[in-house]
Amino acid sequence: MVSPGQFAAFAALVFVMVVVPGPSVLFTVSRALTVGRRDALLTVLGNSAGVYTQVVAVAFGLGALVERSATVFTVIKLAGAGYLVYLGVQAVRHRRRLSEAFSAAVRTTPARTLTVLRDGFVVGFANPKSIVFLAAVLPQFVSYPVGHVPTQIMLLGISLPMIAICTDSAWALAAGSARTWFARSPRRLELIGGTGGLVMIGLGAGLALNGRKD
């Protein structure tokens, strides 16, 4: 139904889009610095699931709706921006817990798996960068005479989470290694916890202020 050529061409475009750091990468790096590799990698999985939900939504009409309606686009954008700001505020508020834990030689307790996956999912699904890309580009790779358009879109779209898992995991591991250096000093760890939170707040504010031209 989807030819290897179609899939390869779309995957190449996806790779170019994914390797340019956007909201998902910055969020993953912030999580790796503030809570460690485990939660960052879980964030990547949740984020990828959220992005693939966008693919499914595009397959069943959301893509066309987002293209036509600035209101729908704005709602999705503001929802993601607000959630990022909330997570950033939480990180800033609890930044001292990381340093206190290391000062007491107690390992920081990882967050619950489902909570971390949920956070990644929400940010992935509300990522305006990917929804605009999918809505504008993905339908162009569909062979309409063949039929089964939603199925074609979902098959093509699987390349996005697959590539994102690989590239975002690399970012998470690299940032997690940097966190190890910060963990040698409670003050460094507290600094990076607060900085990571500020990055998330700034990212959320940037998404909220990033307009759309119709």
With 80 as the cut, is the pLDDT of residue 128 above it? no
Q: Residue length, the chain?
A: 214
Q: How many domains does the chain have?
A: 1
- The SS3 of residue 26 is helix
Could you give the angle at the alpha carbon of 41 between the alpha carbons of 40 and 46, nearest 5°? Answer: 95
What is the rounded CA–CA span in Å between residue 141 and residue 157? 10
13 within domain boundaries: no
Grade residue 141 by pLDDT with cuts at 50, 70 and 90. Answer: confident
Could you give the angle at the alpha carbon of 32 between the alpha carbons of 200 and 131, nearest 5°? Answer: 55
Grade residue 209 by pLDDT with cuts at 50, 70 and 90. Answer: confident
16 within domain boundaries: no
Grade residue 53 by pLDDT with cuts at 50, 70 and 90. Answer: very high
78 within domain boundaries: yes
Grade residue 95 by pLDDT with cuts at 50, 70 and 90. Answer: low
Residues spanned by the domain of 166:
4-8+23-208
What is the rounded CA–CA span in Å between residue 127 and residue 203? 11
49 within domain boundaries: yes
Quick one: pLDDT at residue 68?
61
What is the rounded CA–CA span in Å between residue 116 and residue 161? 17
With 50 as the cut, is the pLDDT of residue 101 above it? no
Which of 30-39, 104-113, 202-211 is most confident?
A: 30-39
117 within domain boundaries: yes
Question: Alpha carbon 24 to chain centroid distance?
Answer: 3
Hey, which bits of the chain come out as E strands? Answer: none
% pLDDT > 90, the chain = 16
18 within domain boundaries: no
Could you give the angle at the alpha carbon of 166 between the alpha carbons of 161 and 169, nearest 5°? Answer: 105
77 within domain boundaries: yes
pTM above 0.75, yes or no: no
126 within domain boundaries: yes
Grade residue 85 by pLDDT with cuts at 50, 70 and 90. Answer: confident
Question: Alpha carbon 18 to chain centroid distance?
Answer: 10
Q: For 174-197, how does the pLDDT look when each residue is reduced to its tens digit (9 = 90+)?
A: 887 777 666 565 565 566 566 666
Backbone CA torsion sign across 84, 123, 199, 193: positive
